[in-house]
Structure 1
Amino acid sequence: MLTLTLTLHEARIAMERPFRHARKVRAETASVLVAAGYRGETGWGEAAPREYVTGESVGSVVAALSGRGVRPAVEEVAGAPLDEALAGLIALDLPELLGRGGAPAPAAAAALETALFDLVCRRHGVWGLRALHRAGFGDLLAAEPAPMPVSTVLDLTRDPEARLAALPEGVRGTIPHVKLKAGPDVAPVAGQVARVRALVPGATVSVDANCSWETETVLAHAPHLRAAGLSWLEEPLPPRRWADLARLREAGLRVMLDESFSSARDLADCTTHQAADLLNLRVSKCGGPLRLLTLARAARAAGLGVQLGVQVGEVGPLWAAGRLIGTALHGPVAVEAGRQDEWFPGHPPLTDPGYQVDRAASRAAALSGPGTALRPTEALLRRCTPVPPRP
């Protein structure tokens, strides 16, 4: 008889303010929470599917995690001793297991992997970072966590220069990295980069076009972008235009992949074509914290740098898993933490512990406790829609 239970909740929660980039305006969350229960203990995971990134939706994630074969496939992991459970979880190809029609499902996999990782750690009373070391990722992670430097991400709903200029100079001086979301027009971007760099001279500055630009236009503006001090250009072209991305690099632009990268296959294509310098790793996009670290190791072996990113509107387990990795990962070029303090302000908080970032210092501290060290509150679950179990 199966003793592992998987309980799903759809989380569609209005955000206090929208977040806009070149391809999407997001005004509410679109997450699926997963509670993995085993013999009196519960681990929590979350998927934040985005169709324009991995082809997944809330509906497809629910369908994947509700499949008849899911619980039998992971039952052994839930009940195994710690090291066996961690090794078994890494060995499972959850994106393929949960995928349909030959298309993997990394967001669904991230929810399940995070929930099982949290469950295993809680069953054995082990903090998440210790478990990651036990799982063999010590080459990528510090022995002890430290507050992580947090990027400032400025979307298209507000004037980024005005927002930065309104901050006290001392606060601006703590910002390690600024990411500017860009619209489809390339022409004004170089000037904006130059003005932002003048406001935060100690920070790196990147531009994320979210696949909205075309190759020849970017090449025409490449000298201006370089002269403005652009640190790197994130996902400028429609996804997986490997040869064209290589041309941008030949023009002297550093390129980061995001929508074009979620799997080992993407990494192989990228390196074959020499199409990027950097990869944006996000827990939901990569298939979970363990799989993210596996991809980070492969990326570094290929000579690529990494950024630890987030999905807009993560409500709890995802940002906690990102915080676990971000406070220990060696040498990322930038670390994002989201803006849940702006999107979901007020009390009661959505999670225990509540979301917290020191904006004055641009730092976020590690959470304390087993697993990802976070649980959804009843206030969050009341705002979710329970998914009826399938017979």
Structure 2
Amino acid sequence: MDFDFTPEQKALAKQVRQFAAEQVAPYRRESDVRGSYRPGLLAEMAAEGLFALRLPEVYGGRDLDAVSAGIVLEELAAADLSVCFPVLNAALVGGVLAANGSPEQLEEWLPPIARGESVLALGLTEPEHGTDAAAIAARAEPDGDGWVLTGEKTSIMTTAYATHALLFARTGEPGPYGITAFYAGLDGVEREGLQDLGCRSGGRGRMVLDGLRVGPEHVVGGVGRGFGQVMRGFGVSRAMIALMAVAVGKAALDEALAHAGTREAFGQVIGRFQAVSFPLVEHVTLLHAARLVAFEALWRADVGLDPRETANMAKWWAPKAAVDAAHQALLTLGHLGWSEDGPVAQRLRDVIGLQLADGTAAATKLVVARRLLGRESAP
């Protein structure tokens, strides 16, 4: 069993770490206050190949394995969690398109994604349907040889920046087999930003599909097959989100450990007090273990094994561990941690959102329970 990365993966991590240190981390606070990325950041990320990670080389992609994509997101999240979402969407949505599109669709859709010209959103969640995504109410009504989409999507990351979205709408019977996926441009689609506790520059918002017309060439993978396509994608994306959470928690703990090694009280650095150092050790341990579970899930995907059980384990555990770690880091720094002038308060605000993204703890535990017990014996 090998727990080391390949030389290529180490070089990739170094490249992204340097980019994040120079072009992302210095602007984290400014972006959070402004509620948007700094101008030019998305173009710089595209030039680094960050939107081409999982796309086939023939369409301008880098054709990286899942572990390598996880490494990239981990490095970015340590600098600023908010910048991960367009990269994650390019990997998830781009992967769904690459696996289900026709050759003509891929030739048209994938190169602009790889170049960063098409910024992607995943249009699944609705005001009344989040965890129960198979019950979505947005409809696609036949119109000539195409479809007209109506309904609302909400809690969609990158809404503020997206040029295209993978939109899910009901074309048939209730339940998952009546849902179709459409890949469409968002010109003319009404959008509204949401005011969030954290990840304020991530562009989360709502979209109103008021008669958006799409042609048959926009259908991805066939009518009635949309729900299964995105659920398979979550087997990888949930593990990537777990790594993003771990990176945020670890960054907060690094701040706390540095503080514990220099801050003095009662004649010695506070790290010498077990009440300070032992909780930090516990959180470092829990994050380390969560990271291994997440990378195991990505490794399983890369070698052709089913990653879903492990990915869902990582998805419920890692964000909780990261929130707890960031909270402990804030307490360790005391008034310095509580202040928004420091980095820990923002990290805590940001990472809480990952307990909701791509499935709550309850939803992911349900997946694991059904795989362990079978559907007839599980919730």
Q: Classify the TM-score, shorter chain.
A: under 0.3
TM-score by length of 2: 0.25
Q: Which has the higher helix share?
A: 2
TM-score by length of 1: 0.25
Q: Which has the higher strand share?
A: 1
More relative contact order, 1 or 2 (CA 8 Å, 6+ apart): 1
